[in-house]
Amino acid sequence: MRLARRAAVAIAAGALLSGTAAYGTASAGDTASATAQHLPQPWAGTSQADTLRDAAATQGRFVGTALNDGLLNNPTYTAIAGGEFSSVTAENAMKWGSLESTRGQYNWGGADRLVEFADRHGQQVYGHTLVWHSQLPGWVENGNFSPTELRGIVDNHIATVAGRYAGDIDRWDVVNEVFNEDGTFRDSVFSRAFGESFVADAFRATRAADPDARLFINDYNTDGINAKSDGMYRLVSSLLDAGVPIDGVGFQSHMILGQMPASYQANLQRFADLGLEVVITELDIRMNTPSDAGRLAQQAEQYRQVVQACLNVDRCSGVTMWGVSDRDSWIPGVFPGEGAANLYDEDYRPKPAYGAVLAAFGGGGDPDPTDPTDPTDPSDPTDPTDPAPGGCTVSYRVTSAWPGGSVVEVGVTTATALDGWQATFALPAGARVTGGWNATFSQSGSTVTAANVAHNRAVGAGGTFGFGFQSDTGAHGAPAVSLNGERCATG
């Protein structure tokens, strides 16, 4: 799906854009994106990051969430998903059964929306998943194809999906869940046709379709050293020996409260020692419901241990949570009587586990980062008790203006290092941004959000970045500008 990133590149290249085709109109997601400015955002005036993504970035890690595109019209959900996480995985939208339930008829809507969401929020995209025995279309599962036919079907699927999103995807789960619990190879429509060889073929086909994505194999109950993870270890070792283009192993880590494998870190490390990247891909920690304070505290500690294990392994690049809140988690539907597995509760309030993960990544400071009215919340830009600006300095210059139009250049100097940024400001009532460069723009009412593009995502401490735009309003005074939710001084 090249629309979103192409548009961003075109803007970054300085192309003068007219109308709304590439710029985009304020959608529910855009509104939520603006809302996110008032929700958890980094605060450069404190030494500790107060979002998961900023804290994780200080450790050189990403922190992700499974994203349910059906919830993108919920502004609370999108504010947290966009503001707290630096990576998104499609919970279902990129699975074969979602994309091509009828042969040859593709439904790209959910996957495209996810990629656009990630683009707007400066997030990585973790592609999930190309070849999996589950959530397959019926026509693949029950087609009784010859191996030659099935080979063509799988190759075409990978070429079509990985090809479409080439350039948008940072990592792909090329194959998912190919092992039985005892470490033997799982029976599936693919293994029946090809034995184990479909794994290597799928990696080669994905590399051909998207040379830049890092390619992963992913599984569950492989979190500690056990028969199943031994099977995984043998397979990836043989793939590496055969020169198959595999870059990493995903450990789903769908965990049960109180069942943290003692060998968790050692297991990550043995795969890392093969030269592979490792990622915690689908973390949740479920318990019998209803929860209580004691179990939520125990859960927080288990989350901390998982994150700490990743941080202790150099090649562990990130941790993805399987869903934002207990409300949208898959657990109660699949494990009756269990739930409360995520970082946020049913009302999107952060649980003790949230604080534990934030602290494990080295962040902290805001006891309730989702409460915009919290007078002690330093991320609330309207809060008069907040410390004076100082973390960023901005210059907003109208470089040319005429009746009904102007060009503006904005320069922002940041005191602290950034890995992804959003600058927000208000235009005069009724004015619209009509084009721009070096940022991706969205607008909700008069509030404009300019988000980083790929090439200016990372800014060092004391560094300056700039962007510019055209609008349909004439000369106007410089508005207040906020960087990641913090008001900037003018300079």
Annotated catalytic residue 177: yes
- C-beta of 39 vs 232, nearer to ligand XIL: 232
Q: Are 89 and 64 in contact (CB under 8 A)?
A: yes
- C-beta of 91 vs 112, nearer to ligand XIL: 91
Site string for ligand XIL, 43-82 (x = CB under 6 A): ----------------------------------------
Distance CA 445, CA 70 (A): 24
- C-beta of 176 vs 406, nearer to ligand XIL: 176
Q: Are 147 and 194 in contact (CB under 8 A)?
A: yes
- Beta strand 392-402 with 447-451 is unpaired
Among 69, 91, 170, 377, binds ligand XIL (CB under 6 A): 91
Name residue 250's beta-bridge partners: 218, 279
Q: Would you give the end-to-end CA distance of the chain in angstroms? A: 40
- Beta strand 418-419 with 481-483 is unpaired
- C-beta of 68 vs 442, nearer to ligand XIL: 68
Q: In what order do the strands lie in the sheet with 422-426?
A: 440-444, 447-451, 422-426, 481-483, 486-487
User: Taken in order 333, 334, 338, 343, is the CA torsion positive or negative?
Assistant: negative
- Beta strand 418-419 with 458-459 is antiparallel
- C-beta of 220 vs 396, nearer to ligand XIL: 220
- C-beta of 76 vs 252, nearer to ligand XIL: 252
Residue at shortest CB range from ligand XIL: 330
Other Cβ atoms less than 10 A from the Cβ of 245: the count is 17
Tell me how far, at minimum, the Cβ of 68 lies from ligand XIL, in Å. Answer: 7
Q: Are 341 and 286 in contact (CB under 8 A)?
A: yes
Contacts of ligand XIL in 242-261 (CB under 6 A)? 252
- C-beta of 67 vs 418, nearer to ligand XIL: 67
Among 33, 176, 320, 438, binds ligand XIL (CB under 6 A): 176
Name residue 216's beta-bridge partners: 173, 248
Tell me how far, at minimum, the Cβ of 108 lies from ligand XIL, in Å. Answer: 18
Distance CA 262, CA 272 (A): 17
Please give the C-alpha separations between residue 166 and each of 161, 183, 209, in angstroms, as whole numbers.
Answer: 8, 32, 7
Tell me how far, at minimum, the Cβ of 482 lies from ligand XIL, in Å. Answer: 35
Site string for ligand XIL, 1-20 (x = CB under 6 A): --------------------
Site string for ligand XIL, 301-330 (x = CB under 6 A): -----------------------------x
Tell me how far, at minimum, the Cβ of 92 lies from ligand XIL, in Å. Answer: 5
Give the chain's count of helices (H) and strands (E). 15, 22
Binding-residue total with ligand XIL (CB under 6 A): 7
Annotated catalytic residue 409: no
Name residue 465's beta-bridge partners: 412
Tell me how far, at minimum, the Cβ of 15 lies from ligand XIL, in Å. Answer: 38
R_g of the chain computed on alpha carbons: 23
Residue 479 main-chain phi, psi, to 5 deg: -80, 165
Instruction: State the alpha helices, DSSP H only, in 20-125.
Output: 28-35, 52-58, 75-84, 96-99, 109-120
92 binds ligand XIL (CB under 6 A): yes
* Local structure of residue 185 (DSSP, 8 states): B
- C-beta of 130 vs 268, nearer to ligand XIL: 130
User: Which position among 177, 181, 196, 346 bears the catalytic label?
Assistant: 177
Tell me how far, at minimum, the Cβ of 176 lies from ligand XIL, in Å. Answer: 5
Contacts of ligand XIL in 204-223 (CB under 6 A)? 220
Distance CA 53, CA 63 (A): 6
Tell me how far, at minimum, the Cβ of 330 lies from ligand XIL, in Å. Answer: 3
Contacts of ligand XIL in 275-294 (CB under 6 A)? 282
User: Which position among 91, 277, 282, 486 bears the catalytic label?
Assistant: 282
Other Cβ atoms less than 10 A from the Cβ of 395: the count is 16
Tell me how far, at minimum, the Cβ of 388 lies from ligand XIL, in Å. Answer: 45
Contacts of ligand XIL in 146-165 (CB under 6 A)? none
Residues designated as active site: 177, 282
Kindly list the residues in this chain that would bind ligand XIL in the complex (CB under 6 A).
Answer: 91-92, 176, 220, 252, 282, 330
